[in-house]
Amino acid sequence: MPNISRDEVAHLARLARLAVTEDELDMFAGQLDVILQSVASVGEVAAQDIPPTSHAVRLTNVFREDEPRPGLAQQQALAGAPAVEDGRFRVPRILGEES
């Protein structure tokens, strides 16, 4: 069972450059002891036959492999367009003529 002393808390406070009072040393020692006991109890639960995991569910890549394939020919791409001009899609003008 972990047990942290006031001296260890004072040492940690000095390392962290924290100014703590005598009352805080007692309070922090109790709080840190509870934290250390909780971590120790989690370590006891972990079984040898259970592999460590980083996620609760198995991660899989849902994307397909990036494989080059032939694209559409110009005429095939323009075949469904409502308007075509000079081998390109014709769209309405949205800007006025520039000066």
Q: What is the pLDDT of residue 98?
A: 65
Cβ atoms of residues 40 and 3 within 8 Å: no
Q: What is the pLDDT of residue 32?
A: 92
DSSP 55: S
Q: What is the pLDDT of residue 52?
A: 74
Mean pLDDT, the chain, rounded, equals 86
Residues of the chain above pLDDT 70, percent: 93
- Asked if the model's pLDDT at residue 99 lies above 70, the reply is no
pLDDT classification of 95: cutoffs 50, 70, 90:
confident
Q: Walk me through the domains of the chain, giving residue ranges and CATH numbers.
A: 6-44 (1.10.20)
Q: Report how far Cα 23 is from the mean position of its chain's Cα atoms.
A: 39
Q: What is the pLDDT of residue 31?
A: 93
In this predicted model, which residue has the larger pLDDT, 10 or 47?
A: 10
Helices (H) and strands (E) in the chain, counts: 3, 2
Please state the φ and ψ torsions of residue 84, each to the nearest 5 degrees. -130, 140
Cβ atoms of residues 6 and 24 within 8 Å: no
pLDDT classification of 39: cutoffs 50, 70, 90:
confident
In angstroms, the CA 20 to CA 34 distance is: 19
pTM, entire model: 0.45
Q: Which residues pair with 5 in a beta bridge?
A: none
